[in-house]
């Protein structure tokens, strides 16, 4: 699946500060306890970060939940009077671009695509210039979308060959019915949108970077950011933002975050490449069951 916004970024502390932190931990008289205490402090800070990001997840999903039915209502002309949108794919793309501009919630949504599918779930056209989604049976890939003919549905799964440099990826998908103006108020098409977990993790990580910069500025310590990474997790794995070192993602996989957050938010410490980290994770049920956000941080 083609995705928007594939620019790269990193949110790392200055190299000199990283080296100093490692040297201090390695040479302190009470080396191991000192590192452990630093990691615990990072975990406590990560817990606040994860709570903030959890609230942001709810906000972002709320934008789609509100905006998608409104956008679908504005596409009724594509299926009016027996019209078949499959015969006007240019008009479909134009309509998709138009609703994103016209519906405020969709204009700011973090979606990487908007697409129109027929009532059975076969994609007709998306709003991207290069459309590799057309012809795919979205219901076969995301069975819960079969219920979208009756109203808004959100679900998770993965597109074929959903792969990034960091490894496999998952997708969050939402769909709403485009109704005809007939007596039965029948469904003429489905408006579908979504994002990949790794893309969304990058959005959350960038948002955390902005927050940390504001905090550093307020404290008069600009330029002294911690090392931090953000990832989403569910029962299928951990999905970190692009450019996250593989060793960091693997360390989070070993934490069994779904189990640890079963009773509520969780935090802990871990050493990665001789550097102490704290992590904090919490569920984001508005996104999906057994799904959550985790922050890995080293101050």
Q: What's the confidence (pLDDT) of residue 185?
A: 85
Is 6 within the bounds of a domain?
no
Is 141 within the bounds of a domain?
yes
Q: What's the confidence (pLDDT) of residue 198?
A: 97
Is 282 within the bounds of a domain?
yes
Q: What's the confidence (pLDDT) of residue 184?
A: 78
**Are both 240 and 178 inside the same structural domain?**
no
**Are both 144 and 260 inside the same structural domain?**
no
Residue ending a domain, among 139, 164, 196, is 196
Q: What is the pTM of this model?
A: 0.86
**Are both 169 and 294 inside the same structural domain?**
no
> Whole domain around residue 68: which residue ranges?
63-196
85-96 per-position pLDDT tens digit: 999 999 999 999
Q: What's the confidence (pLDDT) of residue 33?
A: 55
Is 252 within the bounds of a domain?
yes
**Are both 40 and 52 inside the same structural domain?**
yes
Torsion of CA 61, 65, 70, 76, to 10 degrees: 110
**Are both 47 and 141 inside the same structural domain?**
no
CATH value at residue 151: 3.30.450.20
Nearest to 8 by CA among 291, 199, 176, 216: 199
**Are both 83 and 31 inside the same structural domain?**
no
Q: What's the confidence (pLDDT) of residue 276?
A: 96
Q: What's the confidence (pLDDT) of residue 19?
A: 38
Q: What's the confidence (pLDDT) of residue 7?
A: 35
Total number of domains in the chain: 2
Residue ending a domain, among 143, 177, 196, is 196
Nearest to 284 by CA among 248, 244, 232: 232
Q: What's the confidence (pLDDT) of residue 34?
A: 57
Q: Radius of gyration (Cα) for the chain, nearest Å?
A: 22
**Are both 180 and 210 inside the same structural domain?**
no
Is 7 within the bounds of a domain?
no
**Are both 92 and 137 inside the same structural domain?**
yes
**Are both 44 and 70 inside the same structural domain?**
no
Is 26 within the bounds of a domain?
yes
For residue 122, the 8-state DSSP code is: B
**Are both 240 and 119 inside the same structural domain?**
no
Residue 164 has phi, psi (to 5 degrees) of: -130, 180
| Spans of the chain, pLDDT less than 50 | 1-24, 26-31
**Are both 81 and 40 inside the same structural domain?**
no
Is 1 within the bounds of a domain?
no
Q: What's the confidence (pLDDT) of residue 5?
A: 42
Is 258 within the bounds of a domain?
yes
**Are both 190 and 73 inside the same structural domain?**
yes
271-283 per-position pLDDT tens digit: 999 999 999 999 9
Q: What's the confidence (pLDDT) of residue 10?
A: 37
Q: What's the confidence (pLDDT) of residue 36?
A: 63
Residue ending a domain, among 164, 196, 228, is 196
Maximum CA pair distance of the chain? 80
Q: How does DSSP assign 148-159, residue by residue?
A: GGTS-EEEEE--
């Amino acid at each position: 699946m083609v995705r928007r916004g594939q620019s790269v970024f990193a949110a790392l502390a200055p190299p000199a500060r990283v080296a100093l932190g490692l040297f201090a931990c390695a040479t302190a008289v009470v080396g191991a306890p000192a590192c452990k205490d630093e990691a615990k402090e990072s975990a406590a800070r990560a817990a606040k970060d994860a709570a903030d990001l959890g609230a942001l997840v709810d906000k972002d999903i709320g934008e789609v939940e509100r905006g998608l039915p409104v956008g679908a209502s504005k596409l009724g002309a594509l299926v009016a009077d027996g019209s078949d949108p499959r015969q006007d794919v240019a008009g479909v793309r134009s309509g998709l671009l138009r609703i994103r501009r016209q519906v405020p919630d969709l204009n700011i949504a973090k979606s990487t695509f908007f697409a129109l599918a027929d009532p059975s779930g076969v994609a007709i056209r998306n709003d991207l210039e290069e459309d590799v989604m057309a012809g795919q049976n979205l219901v076969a890939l995301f069975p819960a979308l079969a219920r979208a003919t009756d109203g808004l549905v959100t679900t998770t799964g993965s597109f074929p060959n959903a792969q990034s440099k960091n490894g496999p990826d998952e997708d969050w998908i939402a769909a709403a019915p485009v109704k005809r103006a007939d007596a039965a108020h029948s469904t003429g098409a489905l408006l579908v949108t979504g994002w990949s977990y790794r893309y969304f993790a990058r959005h959350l990580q960038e948002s955390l970077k902005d927050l940390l910069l504001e905090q550093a500025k307020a404290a008069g310590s600009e330029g002294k950011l911690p090392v931090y990474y953000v990832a989403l997790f569910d029962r299928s794995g951990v999905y970190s933002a692009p450019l996250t070192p593989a060793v960091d993602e693997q360390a989070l996989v070993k934490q069994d975050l779904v189990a640890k957050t079963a009773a509520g938010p969780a935090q802990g410490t871990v050493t990665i490449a001789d550097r102490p980290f704290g992590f904090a994770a919490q569920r984001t049920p508005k996104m999906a069951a057994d799904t959550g956000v985790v922050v890995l941080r080293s101050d």
